[in-house]
Amino acid sequence: MSYNNIMDKYIEDFLDYCEIERGHSPLTKRNYEHYLSRFANWGKDNGLSKPSDINLEKIKKYRLFLNRLTDKFGKPLKKQTQNYHIIALRAFLKYLAKNDVKTLSAEKIELADVPDREISFLSEEELDRLFAEPNVKKTIGLRDRTILEVLFSTGLRVSELVKLNKDQIDSNRGEFSIIGKGGKARVVFLSDSAKESLKKYLGSRNDEDKAVFVRHGRKKSEIRNPKSETNSNVQNIKFKKTEVRNQMEESPDKKKPSGRLTTRTVQRILRKYAKKAGIIKKVTPHTLRHSFATDLLTSGADLRSVQTMLGHSSITTTQIYTHVTNQQLKEVHSAFHGKRKKN
């Protein structure tokens, strides 16, 4: 960030503080930089050159600016995204106050009310259909079934899943520690079926790759490209992107994985099996995380325990699942209330 004014310098100092003293992840720091750069750029055109220029009137105008801001498709920023801008700004103001810099108090800026976040999760019947799709007689099918089992059993984020290494997991104990979002450690647990799938999958491999989930197949550079062949050889060949992926995954040499799976690949895996299972709703790795949490709550788990297992910093985040238990209570009420026998 170039120092066009003193505000830019303070923002840069704040980002260094986030990295060094607060220990925030690179992603968190990058998000703060994005939101505060937008504020600083807006401020240059609206009389904000130093922290003491920030007041409630300026903040009101900035929030109006955010509310009217549109992306390249003409869509306005979501209310939650606007709140992310304000959260970053409040963190910046708290940092300034901590360093005795005269500015607006962060407590004077309120976050906007946003609609309750809707979550998508799978029913027991949908989960059964999804899990039945991978062909576990093949290495790739066994891997994919294990991915589904582990995601649903642990509630892992997809970013946490793809970072797993074999030496982290003792499939006999059925539990292991991970470093999750914000560098926070937590313990996750494997169900019996997840343990069994994991044992079979890892036992089927004969490679030295440290990653738990890897790509089985040839590298892209080794895949035959019909476009480079003569017309006579490719005249009757229909070459699609899906076929490229199939060649990568189904090569004869299945004992030589070509690297750790990416989050994007895991997302594609879930979409593929959801479509094959006839599940209409959008299914992502986070859908299985939601399914994990709702399954625990509807089975009687308390919210604090679910918060710990999900790795949420605040129980407020976990409370997005309470509508599920509320619905369950409603069904119980409907089934049993007012059913007294008449004399």
- Active-site residue among 85, 216, 289, 290? 289
Catalytic residue check, 289: yes
- Active-site residue among 29, 58, 129, 181? 181
- Active-site residue among 10, 32, 273, 321? 321
- Active-site residue among 85, 157, 215, 216? 157
Catalytic residue check, 286: yes
Tokens of 292: 């994990």
- Active-site residue among 24, 145, 218, 312? 312
- Active-site residue among 58, 129, 256, 286? 286
Catalytic residue check, 312: yes
Catalytic residue check, 90: no
Catalytic residue check, 181: yes
Catalytic residue check, 321: yes
Catalytic residues: 157, 181, 286, 289, 312, 321
